[in-house]
Amino acid sequence: MSKITTLNEFILDRQAEFPFATGELSRLLSDVAVASKIVSNDVRRAGLVDHILGAQGETNIQGEEQQKLDVVADEQFIKMFRFGGEVCGIASEENDDFMAFEDEQSKKGNYVVLFDPLDGSSNIDVNVSIGTIFSIYRRVSPAGSSATIADMLQEGVKQVAAGYVLYGSSTMLVYTTGHGVNGFTLDPAIGEYCLSHPNMKMPETSRLYSMNEGNIDISHPGIQEYIKYCQGEEKATGRPYSGRYIGSLVADFHRSLIKGGIYIYPAVPSSPKGKLRLLYECNPLAFIAEQAGGLATTGYERIMEIKPTELHQRVPYIVGSKKMVQQVLNCIQQADSRN
């Protein structure tokens, strides 16, 4: 048995690695952890609240209306960032516009946070894993002023930290500050995240692929070809591969990070630019993937190099084990050269 390292100990030990080692980012990461523990507790009680204590939309005993869990999570994270003092503004998948915090302390904050408070929310009602995804940038507007849209629309390569919290069979927080990826499991007995997955590396390849195959016939021919390859039979390459699709990006990504694999959400006629959000979902997970040795692309462009033009911008998304992503890129290129 070895000594337990808590997330807070780990953050403080690594503080010197940050580009501006003043402790602000450390405090911000600790705030994310605290908010996620509160949300984790709400997630664990979701079935009770909906089915025993009262359905969503009903008023509770205090006369307050029960809120949907994704709204509860959104508010919890916003509250933490608003009062934390390190963040001058946020943007969230739940809100149409970004929010600039106008109190004097927040206006001095050097960071903005972009996040998806509860990803995979269609899985809440069926007790399947969901998660929070976050991305942290240094502001580009001057400290002391209000946060601006330019603070929010930065390329993924400018992220100073990114991570996710998976509310799965256990609650895990995984993050990077650009010096590798580390994973922490919440020990409910002591209420602490403990280092459980140090220096995570994504296997270069695997036998697992992840895509909503209902979309296969309406996907790019290169993607169709790649999925056909995964399903083909060949002993030497261990094919057919196994299809795994949870429908919660965080959970599908987490599996790929640990076991290797590829996740694909292409452009389809109903979502011609792809379904997933560049700023709240794709960039943060791309940062983690690359830090763990994987890749993230639209099929044509490295995700983290896209210059965002709008907050809720969507992109086609291919993320995962390096060799598998490279093979999809080849399939796309070949299919395009035939047309």
Return residues touching ligand AHM (CB under 6 A): 93, 116, 119-121, 212, 247-249, 275
Q: At what angle do helices 322-338 and 221-231 cross, to 10 degrees?
A: 130
Residue 79, classed as helix, strand or coil, is helix
Q: Which residue has the tokens 């795994």?
A: 244
Q: At what angle do helices 249-259 and 283-291 cross, to 10 degrees?
A: 10
Q: What is the DSSP string of 46-59?
A: HHHHHHTS--TTSB
Our finding on whether 252 is near Mg ion (CB under 5 A) is no
Our finding on whether 70 is near Mg ion (CB under 5 A) is no
Minimum distance between the CB of residue 179 and ligand AHM, rounded to whole angstroms?
27
DSSP state of 64: P
Minimum distance between the CB of residue 129 and ligand AHM, rounded to whole angstroms?
10
Contact 174, 197 (CB under 8 A): yes
Minimum distance between the CB of residue 253 and Mg ion, rounded to whole angstroms?
11
Q: What is the DSSP string of 164-217?
A: EEEESSSEEEEEESSS-EEEEEEETTTTEEEEEE-S----S--SEEEE-GGGGG
Minimum distance between the CB of residue 119 and Mg ion, rounded to whole angstroms?
4
Contact 311, 147 (CB under 8 A): no
Which residues are paired to 262 by β-bridges? Answer: 209, 320
The alpha carbon torsion through 309, 311, 312, 315 (nearest 10 deg) reads 40
Rg (CA), the chain: 20
Q: Would you say 101 or 280 has its CB closer to ligand AHM?
A: 280
Minimum distance between the CB of residue 1 and ligand AHM, rounded to whole angstroms?
36
274 binds, among Mg ion, ligand AHM, none (CB under 5 to 8 A by kind): none
Q: Would you say 27 or 244 has its CB closer to ligand AHM?
A: 244
Q: Would you say 111 or 265 has its CB closer to Mg ion?
A: 265
Minimum distance between the CB of residue 121 and Mg ion, rounded to whole angstroms?
7
The single residue among 119, 151, 192, 252 that binds Mg ion, judged by CB under 5 A, is 119
Q: Would you say 192 or 252 has its CB closer to ligand AHM?
A: 252
Q: Give the separation between CA 24 and CA 9, rounded to whole angstroms.
A: 15
Minimum distance between the CB of residue 151 and ligand AHM, rounded to whole angstroms?
22
Tokens of residue 193, six digits = 């995240």
151 binds, among ligand AHM, Mg ion, none (CB under 5 to 8 A by kind): none
Q: Would you say 19 or 214 has its CB closer to ligand AHM?
A: 214
Q: Backbone dihedral region of 260: left (phi > 0), alpha (psi from -120 to 50 degrees) or beta?
A: left
Q: Would you say 25 or 282 has its CB closer to Mg ion?
A: 282
Residue 220, classed as helix, strand or coil, is coil
Maximum alpha-carbon separation in the chain:
65
248 binds, among ligand AHM, Mg ion, none (CB under 5 to 8 A by kind): ligand AHM
Q: What number of chain residues touch Mg ion (CB under 5 A)? A: 2
The single residue among 31, 74, 86, 116 that binds Mg ion, judged by CB under 5 A, is 116
212 binds, among Mg ion, ligand AHM, none (CB under 5 to 8 A by kind): ligand AHM
74 binds, among ligand AHM, Mg ion, none (CB under 5 to 8 A by kind): none
Which spans of this chain sit near Mg ion (rule: CB under 5 A)?
116, 119
